């Protein structure tokens, strides 16, 4: 399940952010600008491939929910069913309008074609929001029927944090592709605008991400104190607990070694009071989550997030001076920002899921009791690895083919003309 989620979340994030970029590019082309139209058309072809692969991996996940977690679905299926139904409707809406959008490039007026892209962007974000709401309910369950999913204490913070991360990663992924092209000498208008558009979305979201992250962390502090303790490597209950930067949790000695500690920082960030008491992992034993995995993943996510925010400040400095950020070292940083943003998403999802253990539904159903007792899981794991390996490799090859064909067809030259 972890492998399936880790694979699918990449396509889910791109399904949120890439349609927004396509809409921006096509919107800018409505006045007759051929370069922006070429970008929108190229990105729509790539998105069609990514959407198809995301649909396949999402379908595998839906089967795994029933096959791998029968007790979870049997007990809580009625609680989460509405959210998944709404997600399915959002997916169908996205698929229908994406088909019209792709088919209508030469068959609809420019304005009508642009408007057909709006439901794709809206439905993509809604689909991600519905699924994230289910996860938030699993972290902070409340009673009250199918609508309870949307009243979970963690729902607002998790949805905001996930959507902002998706927009940041999608924008920076696009920017990184064009940054690599510019490093290879392709500095035409299409590359410059493509990188600028991706940076505008990706870095704006990167600046917003610390705010949504602070909201999410405060929600965790209130509703999942064991997860907070694992995130920060806090083994003992302590008033005025320090904020740890880096470090390696030693679960034998029950301490986090090699960390830089900011006195009272965790108490202040988590509860708005430097003297507040933070409950330690020892208080939750034996049901405490694995500190080493959660802490390292959290530090990786935060570290990348802060680096991307710093990159946003640097690019904003160039923009304020009306200079294009095309220096070699800056282009290299932009080229790395796209992959780094997706590493941060994977790390964040690890914090969310592993930090809840040993519970599938926090405080209500343990992972060991929810998982299937059926034999043959090893064969299923091998098959999953093979399927996703083939999907990932095939996706990369198709996207590379589309990029090469676009260059050989000379659409860059056409756009400049």
Cα(82)–Cα(339) distance, integer angstroms:
34
pLDDT at 416: 43
Q: What is the pLDDT of residue 345?
A: 97
> pLDDT value at position 409?
65
Residues 140, 72, 94: CA angle, nearest 5 degrees: 75
Indicate the range of 40-44, 258-262, 387-391, 407-411 predicted with least confidence: 407-411
The structure tokens listed for 60 are 């595998």
- As a whole number of angstroms, the distance between CA 165 and CA 210 comes to 10
Classify each residue of 72-100 as buried b or exposed e, where b means 16 or more C-beta atoms within 10 Å of its C-beta: bbebbeebbebbbebbeebbebbeebbeb
Q: Please, what is the average pLDDT of the chain?
A: 93
Whole-number Å distance between alpha carbons of 199 and 175:
6
DSSP type of residue 10: H
pLDDT surpassing 60 at residue 414: no
What is the distance between the alpha carbons of residues 224 and 215, in angstroms, rounded to a whole number? 13
Whether 147 contacts 78, CB under 8 Å = no
Retrieve residue 410's tokens.
């000379």
- Which among 159, 202, 179 is positioned nearest to 18, based on CA atoms? 202
Contact 307, 191 (CB under 8 A): no
| Dist CA 258 CA 246 (whole Å) | 7
Q: Which residues contact 245 (CB under 8 A, 6 or more apart)?
A: 259, 260, 261, 262, 299
DSSP type of residue 140: S
What residues form DSSP beta bridges with 365? 361
Q: Give strand pairing partners of 260.
A: 245
Return contacts of 73-76, CB within 8 angstroms, 24+ apart. 75/365, 76/361, 76/365
First to last CA, the chain: 49
The two structure tokens encoding residue 291 = 């500190």
166-204 pLDDT, tens digit each = 999 999 999 999 999 999 998 899 999 999 999 999 999
Would you state the structure tokens that stand for residue 93, as one six-digit string? 């809406």
> How many residues are listed for the chain in this entry?
417
Could you count the other beta carbons within 10 Å of the beta carbon of residue 33?
15
- Name which of 139, 191, 168, 159 is nearest 326 in CA terms: 191
Q: CB neighbours (10 Å) of residue 246?
A: 15
Q: What is the pLDDT of residue 367?
A: 95
The Cα-based distances of 219 to 147, 154, 215, 303, 350 in angstroms read 20, 6, 6, 20, 17
The pLDDT of residue 410 is 53
At residue 417, does pLDDT exceed 50? no
What are 278's strand-pairing partners?
238
Q: Which helix (H) or strand (E) holds 34?
A: helix 34-68
Residues 203-251: pLDDT tens digits?
999 999 999 999 999 999 999 999 999 999 999 999 999 999 999 999 8
Q: pTM for the whole thing?
A: 0.94
122-161 pLDDT, tens digit each? 999 999 999 999 999 999 999 888 899 999 999 999 999 9
Convert the pLDDT of each residue in 295-349 to its tens digit. 999 999 999 999 999 999 999 999 888 888 888 999 999 999 999 999 999 999 9
With CA atoms as reference, report the closest residue to 248 among 262, 240, 260: 260
């Amino acid at each position: 399940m972890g492998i399936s989620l880790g694979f699918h979340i990449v396509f889910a994030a791109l399904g949120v952010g890439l349609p927004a970029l396509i809409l921006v590019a096509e919107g800018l082309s409505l006045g007759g600008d051929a370069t922006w139209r070429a970008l929108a058309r190229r990105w729509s072809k790539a998105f069609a491939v990514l959407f198809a692969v995301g649909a396949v991996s999402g379908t595998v996940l839906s089967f795994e929910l029933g096959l791998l977690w029968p007790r979870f679905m049997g007990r809580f299926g009625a609680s989460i069913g509405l959210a998944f139904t709404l997600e399915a409707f959002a997916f169908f809406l996205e698929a229908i309008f994406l088909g019209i959008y792709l088919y209508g490039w030469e068959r609809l007026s420019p304005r009508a074609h642009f408007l057909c892209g709006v439901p794709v962007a809206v439905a993509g974000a809604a689909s991600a929001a519905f699924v994230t709401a289910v996860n938030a309910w699993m972290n902070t369950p409340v009673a009250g029927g199918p609508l309870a999913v949307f009243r979970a204490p963690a729902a607002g913070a998790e949805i905001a944090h996930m959507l902002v991360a998706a927009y940041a990663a999608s924008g920076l992924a696009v920017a990184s592709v064009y940054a690599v092209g510019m490093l290879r000498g392709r500095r035409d208008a299409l590359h410059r605008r493509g990188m600028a558009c991706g940076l505008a979305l990706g870095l704006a979201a990167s600046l917003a991400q610390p705010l949504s992250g602070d909201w999410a962390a405060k929600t965790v502090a209130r509703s999942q104190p064991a997860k907070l303790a694992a995130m920060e490597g806090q083994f003992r209950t302590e008033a005025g607990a320090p904020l740890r930067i880096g470090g390696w949790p030693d679960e034998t000695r029950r301490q986090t070694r090699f960390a830089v500690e900011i006195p009272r920082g965790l108490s202040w960030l988590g509860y708005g009071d430097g003297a507040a008491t933070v409950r330690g992992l020892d208080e939750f034993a034996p049901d405490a989550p694995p500190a080493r995995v959660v802490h390292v993943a959290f530090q990786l996510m935060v570290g990348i997030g802060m680096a991307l925010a710093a990159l946003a400040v640097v690019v904003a400095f160039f923009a304020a001076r009306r200079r294009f950020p095309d220096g070699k070292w800056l282009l290299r940083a932009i080229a790395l920002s796209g992959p780094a943003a997706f590493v941060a998403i994977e790390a964040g999802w690890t914090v969310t899921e592993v930090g809840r253990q040993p519970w599938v539904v926090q405080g209500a159903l343990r992972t060991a009791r929810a998982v299937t007792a059926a034999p043959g899981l090893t064969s299923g794991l091998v098959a999953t690895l093979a399927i996703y390996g083939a999907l990932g490799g095939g996706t990369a090859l198709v996207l590379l083919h589309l990029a090469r064909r676009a260059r050989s067809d000379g659409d860059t030259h056409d756009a400049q003309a």
